[in-house]
């Protein structure tokens, strides 16, 4: 599936790519219009707006006639023209992850797709902020940085935003507490080598594993099981893919939240994937650390006080990604 959503200066969503076979207009509306309206990013746009845009692009590319599950559709040049001078470009182009398939197994195919479409988009949107969502997101973010010439502060991979959200949701369930009171992160690769820096995870400034004993009625809560939480986070995406074929809504909401933060003049901290230049002794790879985003760019990184084991895990994640990068053609 080749798919791209672009925000222009008036934040009007434009469909630039295609859909997988069998997707109805109503389903596409649900994935685009409804999700974005609920997020507040495109709140004032009506469903008719998206319906007309979808019909317009559908007529040009004859989506219903040319799409097939076994093919990749390369976008004709004229399809990119409506994106000209966009402020934010979201790239979701690539083959979907299949049940039992790791994100890294998708690498070369999705790298080739990215290299095929980005010159056309970058040509008409040279000043845009680019958000990479396609998997493996860290590799594709790296390839985009290396091949496009776009400044790195305007290239962001969605990284472990969703993983972090799943982690906080599971911790909140353990203690029946609001997720807003949970401060914990997933760092590293968006994939198998991602890890939780438990040394800094806390609920209202109380370390997560001490929270049960800090509450006066601690018998209300079960013993905290770190391994169970990590297993839940690691397998959540796979469970969704196994049951419905792909993940749509949670990742859409997380990317909308990222857009909202980027368009906000007030900075926000998020675990997005960006290029590293010596942080924690790691260089020349994209992975997720805690970044400051806002005012249409990455403002910088926050170096969390990780312990020795956590820094080792971060290096392990970086080496895993670098080993893949060595094996692909960029």
**Topology given in CATH for the domain delimited by 161-327:** L-2-Hydroxyisocaproate Dehydrogenase; Chain A, domain 2 (3.90.110)
> pLDDT over 70 for what percent of the chain?
70
Three-state secondary structure call for residue 123: helix
Strand partners, 289: 272
Residues in Cβ contact with 325 at an 8 Å cutoff, skipping those fewer than 6 apart? 139, 142, 285
The tens digit of pLDDT for each residue in 190-237 reads: 988 999 999 999 999 999 999 998 987 767 788 889 999 988 888 887
| pLDDT class of 290 with cuts at 50, 70, 90 | very high
pLDDT in tens, 21-57: 334 444 444 444 433 332 222 233 344 544 555 455 4
Are the CB atoms for 47 and 33 separated by under 8 Å?
A: yes
Q: In the chain, where does the domain assigned CATH 3.90.110.10 lie? A: 161-327
pLDDT at 250: 80
Average pLDDT over residues 284-306: 96
Largest CA-CA distance found in the chain, in angstroms, rounded: 65
Provide the 10 A C-beta neighbour count for residue 252: 23
Q: What pLDDT digit, counting tens, does each position of 132-165 carry?
A: 998 899 999 999 999 999 999 999 999 999 999 9
pLDDT at 101: 66
Sign of the C-alpha dihedral computed for residues 58, 61, 66 and 67 taken in this order: negative
- The residues assigned a catalytic role are 190
Quick one: pLDDT at residue 14? 38
DSSP strand pairing (13-15 vs 88-91): unpaired
Cα-flanking dihedrals φ and ψ of residue 92, to 5°?
-120, 20
Q: Which CATH number applies to 4-157? A: 3.40.50
- According to CATH, where is 3.40.50 located in the chain? 4-157
């Amino acid at each position: 599936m080749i798919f791209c959503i672009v925000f222009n200066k008036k934040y009007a969503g434009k469909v630039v790519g295609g859909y997988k076979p069998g997707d109805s207009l109503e389903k596409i509306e649900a994935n685009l219009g409804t999700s974005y309206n609920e997020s507040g990013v495109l709140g004032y746009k009506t469903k008719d707006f998206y319906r007309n845009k979808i019909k317009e692009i559908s007529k040009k590319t004859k989506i219903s006639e040319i799409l097939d599950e076994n093919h990749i559709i390369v976008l004709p040049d004229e399809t990119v023209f409506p994106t000209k001078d966009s402020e934010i470009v979201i790239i979701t182009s690539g083959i979907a992850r299949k049940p039992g398939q790791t994100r890294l197994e998708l690498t070369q195919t999705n790298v080739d797709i990215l290299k095929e479409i980005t010159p056309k988009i970058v040509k008409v949107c040279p000043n845009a902020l680019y958000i990479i969502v396609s998997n493996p997101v860290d590799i594709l973010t790296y390839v985009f940085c290396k091949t496009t010439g776009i400044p790195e502060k305007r290239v962001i991979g969605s990284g472990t935003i969703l993983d972090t959200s799943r982690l906080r949701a599971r911790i909140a369930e353990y203690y029946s507490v609001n997720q807003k009171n949970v401060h914990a992160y997933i760092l590293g690769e968006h994939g198998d080598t991602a890890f939780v820096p438990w040394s800094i995870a806390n609920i209202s400034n109380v370390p997560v594993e001490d929270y049960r004993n800090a509450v006066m009625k601690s018998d209300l809560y079960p013993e905290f099981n770190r391994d169970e939480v990590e297993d839940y986070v690691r397998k959540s995406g796979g469970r969704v893919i196994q049951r419905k074929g792909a993940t749509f809504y949670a990742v859409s909401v997380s990317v909308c939240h990222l857009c909202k933060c980027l368009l906000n003049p007030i900075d926000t901290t998020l675990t997005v994937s960006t290029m590293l230049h010596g942080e924690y002794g790691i260089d020349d790879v994209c992975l997720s650390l805690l970044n400051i985003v806002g005012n249409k760019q990455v403002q910088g990184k926050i170096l969390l006080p990780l312990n020795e084991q956590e820094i080792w895990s971060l290096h392990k994640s970086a080496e895993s990604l670098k080993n893949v990068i060595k094996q692909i053609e960029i």
